Amino acid sequence: MSWPEPYRAADTRHEALPTKRSGATGLVLPRISLGLWWNFGDDRPLQIQRDIIRYAFDHGVFHFDLANNYGPPFGSAEKNFGRIFAEDLKPYRDELVISTKAGWDFFPGPHGIGGSAKYLLGSLNNSLRSMGLDYVDIFYSHRPDPDTPLEETCRTLDQIVRSGKARYVGISSYSADQTLRAQEIMRDLGTPLAIHQPSYSMLNRWVEDDESGSSLLAACAEAGMGTIVFSPLAQGMLTAKYLGDNPAANLTGSRAGTSLTESMLTTENLDRVRGLNDIAATRGQSLAQLAIAWVLRDQGDATVTSALIGASSVDQLRDNLVAATNTDFTSDELDAIDRFAVDSGINLWDSATKSTAGRDS
C-alpha cells in the first residue's frame, strides 16, 4: 500500500501540547504520548493507523511508544509503524522520540523472554530492522527478570547506549527498591536510567505506595528519573463505555477486552467510576479527560512526566489530548476524587515487580 499525497506536518505542531523534562536528563516529552500497544497490529487497517499517527504528530505528540511484542500478532505494530514512518515521518526523525522495549514473551525458547543480554540485544536489533531505524530514542527493560542478575540487564542497557542503538534507556514495572538499585548500578556504569514506565490510574495507585511501603514516584524523583505512566484509563474502565446499564457487554471485541475482565466490573468498582464521572462533569471534562489530567497533576518533584494513551480513532485521540490543557486541581477536588480513586484490583502487571515473578507471570 502506498499513499499518493506527501505528508507535510502542521507548522503549529510544537505549540499544541505542553512538554516536561524527564527527571534530571535533557530528554523532553509531550505531557501526552501515544502508545501503540493495541490498535496498531495487523487486525487494524493501516490507513486508520496512519490517520491517528498523523493527527498525533500534527497536534503535539512527538513521542511514539512501542514494544517488540505489540500487535497482534507479536511484532506487527513495529512493522506497521515502520511503514508509516518511512512514508510520512522520516523527514522529521530528529523531532521524534521513538521508544521500544523487550522483556516479555516474544519468540519461543529460553532466550525469547526476560532480561538477559542475549534477549535484549537480539530483540532491539530486530526492532530496529522492523521499524527501519538506526536507533531508538528510548529502550526499556520491559520488566524485572528474577532469573537474570540485575547487573547483567543493566550492563546490557549501558552497552546499548554506548553502541548508539538507543539515546536513553529506562525500565518498566520495577518496584521502588528495584528502581533505586538499578539506577545505582547504571550510575556506576556511567549511563543513568532516564525514565520509568509504570501503570498508574485513579483505580491503580500502586506507584504511590508499593508493597515495600515505598513510593515509586518518589524513588524516581530521588534517582533523577522521569516517569511516563501507561493505562491511565484503567484498561478502559475510566471511560463512558462502562457507565451504562450493561457494562459487561462492552468487553466483547473491545480493546480492553483482552485484559479487562467481567470480574473487575464489580458493583464497588462501577460505583467508583460513576462517582468519578460526576466529578469530571463539574470540571467540564469527560471521565477519560479527568483520568488523564489526574495522573498529570502537580505532585511536586514526583509529578508524572507524560501520560501514555492509546487511540482507536482520530476522534478518540482528539478528545483525550484536551486533558493536557486542564491538569490543575483544587484541594477540594482532589479530596472528592480520593473518595472514589482507590485501588480496584486491576493492576495486571503487579507480578512483574515481585521477585518471585517468572516466565508464567
| Per-position pLDDT tens, the chain of length 361 | 555 679 999 999 999 999 999 999 999 999 999 999 989 999 999 999 999 999 999 999 999 999 999 999 999 999 999 999 999 999 999 999 999 999 999 989 999 999 999 999 999 999 999 999 999 999 999 999 999 999 999 999 999 999 999 999 999 999 999 999 999 999 999 999 999 999 999 999 999 987 777 899 999 999 999 999 999 999 889 998 888 766 766 765 544 445 677 778 888 999 999 999 999 999 999 999 999 999 999 999 999 999 999 999 999 999 999 999 999 999 999 999 999 999 988 876 675 766 433 322 2
Q: What's the pLDDT at 61?
A: 98
pLDDT for position 354 = 61
| Separate counts of helices (H) and strands (E) for the chain | 10, 10
Residues in CB range of 254: below 8 A, 6 or more apart: 236, 241, 260
Neighbours of 327 (CB within 10 A): 18
Cα(286)–Cα(240) distance, integer angstroms = 8
CA 25-27-32 angle, 5° bins: 125
d(CA 270, CA 347): 16
Residues 189/216, Cβ–Cβ less than 8 Å: no
Pairing of strands 226-230, 32-35: unpaired
C-alpha cell at 37: 500497544
Q: Is 56 exposed, middle or buried (0-12, 13-18, 19+ CB in 10 A)?
A: buried
Domain ranges across the chain: 23-235+288-327
CATH no. of 23-235+288-327: 3.20.20.100
List alpha helices for the chain, DSSP H: 46-58, 76-84, 117-131, 150-162, 176-189, 216-222, 267-282, 287-295, 314-321, 331-338
Distance CA 7, CA 63 (A): 18
Closest among 319, 336, 349, 337 to 52, alpha carbons compared: 319
- For the whole model, what pTM was predicted? 0.93
| DSSP conformation class of 187 | H
